[in-house]
């Protein structure tokens, strides 16, 4: 790799760190993630909680900075990348994504901590698995979180967003968002109410103002994912001189402003397009009754022996396998999809029990082994 310009030693060191951090594939709970934290985050002097989150307090500013150490890679290890005039991309190979979501945020917070920007730094575990680390903190370190007036996450695609709403509903006030834009002083930043989920969402009932800031990546969770380093380095310069006293705090975390849309009225194709910049391709043709959806899916328990499969059962098995693969790679997206259609964990557990009971009566059910989970 070579630099397109002649950077200062400090910038060259920061850029080299970014390159090396992006060369790691880090699914949640893997040795690769633990090694990454040990090499890049722990030397900052972080404490480690029972969920594996890393956190560091610098000064007494009542602002939490948030990122997450896990990626949606299907396996841990190394990967090759290249820099195309400031746009970092994934070299074609075994990797299923670049992982700038959220390596960009982790790198940025590391740079801020090195330069002693005041705040509470939290490097979360398991955001891509539904906010595992932040849910643990919200439940077990509430006193620490309650000291914060704002939570600023660096886990948003693009270069312009200051997120004001996530799937939890309103997460920060417009007044706060505008004050953050002013404090950053970056051209083109604007309020954005189309947020989906990041760890800051799990603090919205504790911390008054919670947001998510664009960190320069695009097409996250795909092989096309890339990172605009010009934006990321510009954001870095803004955060190194960040003045938290310019933030205006007005939101009351005890008052929930929900953006929940009844699942009968939800247009998931429009949501998907607003969140991911592409259409789901006909996915909007759904029946919004749970019983009818089950009928439409035509779910059956197929015989154990592969020799007994009919052509339609083979097709159904292939479709099921494809869904399993998709859920494995994109667990957070599937969670969002289910939530927006009115499903909660109890619904899935109830449906699982119904399937087990029905299959047990037919004598063809083989319970899944979840002992490793």
Torsional sign, CA 70, 64, 336, 142: positive
What architecture does CATH give domain 9-246?
A: 3-Layer(aba) Sandwich (3.40)
* Overall residue count recorded for the chain in this entry: 373
Tens of pLDDT along 50-105? 999 999 999 999 999 999 999 999 999 999 999 999 999 999 988 999 999 999 99
Backbone torsions φ then ψ of 27, nearest 5 degrees: -60, 150
Structure tokens that stand for 367 in this block? 């319970």
* Residues of the chain by 3-state class (helix, strand, coil), percent to 5: 40, 15, 40
pLDDT tens for 224-257 read 999 999 999 999 999 999 999 999 999 999 987 7
Which stretch of DSSP H or E encloses residue 161? strand 161-163
Here the tokens at position 152 are: 């600023």
The domain limits of the chain are 9-246, 284-362
pLDDT in tens, 284-317: 332 223 332 333 343 333 333 444 445 565 566 5
Helical ranges in the chain per DSSP H: 9-22, 31-40, 100-114, 132-140, 142-146, 174-184, 229-240, 268-276, 290-297, 311-329, 331-340, 345-362
Q: Could you tell me which of 78, 80, 85, 127 has the C-alpha nearest to residue 106? A: 127
């Amino acid at each position: 790799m070579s630099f397109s310009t002649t950077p200062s030693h400090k910038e060259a060191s920061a850029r080299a760190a970014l390159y090396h951090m992006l060369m790691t594939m880090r699914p949640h709970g893997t040795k690769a993630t633990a090694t990454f934290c040990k090499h890049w985050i722990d030397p900052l002097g972080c404490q480690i909680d029972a969920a594996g989150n890393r956190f560091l307090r610098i000064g007494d500013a009542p602002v939490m900075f948030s990122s997450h150490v896990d990626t949606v890679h299907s396996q841990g290890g190394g990967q090759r990348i290249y820099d195309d005039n400031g746009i970092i991309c994934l070299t074609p190979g075994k990797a299923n994504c670049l992982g700038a979501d959220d390596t960009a945020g982790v790198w940025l917070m590391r740079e801020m901590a090195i330069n002693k920007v005041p705040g509470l730094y939290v490097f979360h575990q398991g955001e891509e698995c539904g906010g595992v680390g932040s849910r643990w903190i919200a439940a077990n370190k509430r006193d620490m979180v309650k000291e914060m007036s704002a939570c600023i996450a660096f886990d948003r695609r693009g270069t312009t967003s200051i997120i004001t709403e996530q799937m939890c509903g309103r997460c920060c006030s417009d007044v706060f968002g505008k004050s953050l834009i002013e404090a950053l002083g970056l051209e083109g930043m604007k309020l954005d109410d189309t947020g989906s989920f990041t760890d800051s969402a799990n603090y919205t009932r504790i911390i008054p103002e919670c947001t998510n800031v664009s960190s320069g990546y695009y097409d996250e969770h795909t092989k096309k994912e890339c990172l605009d380093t010009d934006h990321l380095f510009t954001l870095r310069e803004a955060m190194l001189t960040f003045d938290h006293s310019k933030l205006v705090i007005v939101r009351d975390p005890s008052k929930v402003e929900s953006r929940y849309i009844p699942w009968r009225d939800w247009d998931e194709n429009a949501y998907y397009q607003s969140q991911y910049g592409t259409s789901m391709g006909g996915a909007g043709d759904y029946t919004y009754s749970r019983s009818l959806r089950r009928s439409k899916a035509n779910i059956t328990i197929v015989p154990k022996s592969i020799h007994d499969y009919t052509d339609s059962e083979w097709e159904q098995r292939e479709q099921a396998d494809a869904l399993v693969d998709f859920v494995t790679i994109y667990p957070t997206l599937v969670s969002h999809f289910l939530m927006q259609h009115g499903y909660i964990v109890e619904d899935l557990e109830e449906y699982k029990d119904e399937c087990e009971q029905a299959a047990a009566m037919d004598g063809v059910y083989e319970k899944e082994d979840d002992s490793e989970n």
